[in-house]
Amino acid sequence: MAKNNPFLTAQKQIDLASKYLEIDHDLVEILKEPQRVVEVALPIRMDNGKIKIFRGFRSQHNNYRGPYKGGIRFHPDVNIDEIKALSVWMTFKCAAVGIPFGGAKGGIIVDPHKLSKAEKEKLTRAYVDKIFEFIGPYKDIPAPDVYTDGQIMSWILDEYNHISREHNPAVVTGKPVAVEGSLGRDTATSMGGVIVLDKLLKRIGIERDKASVAIQGFGNAGANVADILYHQGFKIVAVADSKGAIVSRNQIDPHALVEHKKKTGSVIGFESTRTVSTDEFLKLDVTVIIPAALENVFTAENADSVKAKVILELANGPSTIEADEIFHKKKILVIPDILANAGGVTVSYFEWAQNLSRDYWTLEKVESRLQEVMSSSFETIYEKSLQHSITMRVAAFVVAMERILSSINLRGNGN
């Protein structure tokens, strides 16, 4: 197995949480494997007239608490273990915040930056065609993820409706508002993260204007969280993207940085900043560091060098098991991914509910409901961590597992 295999990490996290519950071991084993994994070949005629075969996946982990739910990513490093792990984390994420969904994840091995818009549309529609029988408003509801967006969700919606000969807006979430998406969905992941970060900082007595922040990843989630934090008075002093990292002695203006990245393709070279290595970036002496990109950022090799007081995991799976253990010993507080970035799936749930009811909410209502869900979820998980003297990640898994296993016990496992 590959080093830091994310699927093995997810399984170990389930085992760790199970120690704090009096449960049947066989039920724990049910949660360690997806119920279904689909792999498809996607032949696409490229703009040059040649056929190219892409590989796609959909992992459906568990649906005891509701339909499968999870994003679709387009990335050259997509692999089956990553997709299975992400589907596990989606199950636990939904349960941790009380959303009535199970977990799924999809992905296509592709560098979308090398595709034309027409080629991306063909690829998206081919993927929907191959997994059509496995998705639907009451089966499995996809959403955006790494390098996918509202446009791609719109193509998924259109292709699904074309094949089904029905109008089913609830088949996918993360759609633009113009095609029955929800207000507030584009910033929901970052907004949810800021809500729980604010709650934790109040618990440990750190004021916003005294909190310095480093953000690793400056795509949708990273840019949005920077914008929200900036307007709430936090001091953003470092930002990294796939090309490099920058540090400033002063506040970094995220709006100006977005414009700089649009012009240059990277955060590097932004005014009044210096460029640093990724290793140096992760070692910065800041209040909060926010991984907002991909998995396995923090490992056994670098975790001991981390100086931040708080880690807010907007990315999925940015910390390995070994890194978690080191953070716990160093008393670094980690707000785990299955809580920190659950704002996205929470507002996806709101979007799905609005699509089914044909009753669309105001932005004020969406944000108010998001605040309620994230705040109450934080309190439940934080109190559980204090009760057992465990990390918030283990506490989040314990809370989620209690809810999932309760559903399994009440429904039966089909045997």
- Asked if the model's pLDDT at residue 180 lies above 80, the reply is yes
Name which residue leads in pLDDT, 26 or 413: 26
Give the residue among 212, 285, 215, 223 at the shortest CA–CA distance from 246.
215
d(CA 314, CA 287) in angstroms, rounded, equals 16
Contact 317, 296 (CB under 8 A): yes
d(CA 239, CA 216) in angstroms, rounded, equals 6
Confidence label for 3 from pLDDT (cuts 50, 70 and 90)? low
Asked if 273 and 308 sit in the same domain, the reply is: yes
Contact 18, 313 (CB under 8 A): no
- Asked if the model's pLDDT at residue 205 lies above 60, the reply is yes
* Chain mean pLDDT for the chain: 94
Q: For 139-147, what is the mean pLDDT? A: 94
Asked if 306 and 232 sit in the same domain, the reply is: yes
Least confident segment among 146-155, 260-269, 288-297, 389-398: 288-297
Q: Which helix (DSSP H) or strand (DSSP E) does residue 105 occupy?
A: strand 103-109
Q: What is the pLDDT of residue 219?
A: 87
Name which residue leads in pLDDT, 77 or 414: 77
Asked if 203 and 146 sit in the same domain, the reply is: no
Instruction: HSE, CB side, 13 Å, CA atoms: give it for residue 132.
Output: 15
| Prediction pTM value | 0.92
Q: What is the pLDDT of residues 346-377, one digit of tens each?
A: 999 999 999 999 999 999 999 999 999 999 99
Q: What is the pLDDT of residue 295?
A: 78
CATH number at residue 151: 3.40.50.10860
Q: What is the pLDDT of residues 120-131, one digit of tens each?
A: 999 999 999 999
Is 268 inside a domain boundary? yes
- Asked if the model's pLDDT at residue 166 lies above 70, the reply is yes
Asked if 57 and 198 sit in the same domain, the reply is: no
Is 132 inside a domain boundary? yes
Q: What is the pLDDT of residue 230?
A: 95
Walk across the sheet containing 244-247 and list its strands: 274-276, 244-247, 235-241, 212-216, 288-291, 310-312, 333-335
What dihedral angle (degrees, nearest 10) is formed by the CA atoms of 187, 97, 377, 176?
A: 10
d(CA 217, CA 245) in angstroms, rounded, equals 9
Quote the number of domains for the chain: 2
Q: What is the pLDDT of residue 317?
A: 86
Task: Write out the residue range of the structural domain in which residue 76 sits.
Answer: 28-170
Least confident segment among 32-46, 225-239, 283-297: 283-297
Determine the distance from the C-alpha atom of residue 143 to the mean position of all C-alpha atoms in its chain, rounded to a whole number. 11
- How far the first Cα of the chain sits from its last, in Å, is 31
- Asked if the model's pLDDT at residue 414 lies above 60, the reply is no
d(CA 294, CA 315) in angstroms, rounded, equals 6
Percentage of the chain surpassing pLDDT 70?
99
Q: Which of 105, 120, 175, 309 is the catalytic position?
A: 105
Q: For 386-404, what is the mean pLDDT? A: 94
Contact 87, 101 (CB under 8 A): no
- The yes-or-no answer on residue 105 being catalytic is yes
Asked if 35 and 145 sit in the same domain, the reply is: yes
Number of H helices, E strands in the chain: 14, 12
Is 147 inside a domain boundary? yes
Name which residue leads in pLDDT, 165 or 317: 165
Confidence label for 415 from pLDDT (cuts 50, 70 and 90)? low
Asked if 108 and 202 sit in the same domain, the reply is: no
Asked if 139 and 53 sit in the same domain, the reply is: yes
State phi, psi for 246 to the nearest 5 degrees.
-130, 150
Asked if 100 and 230 sit in the same domain, the reply is: no
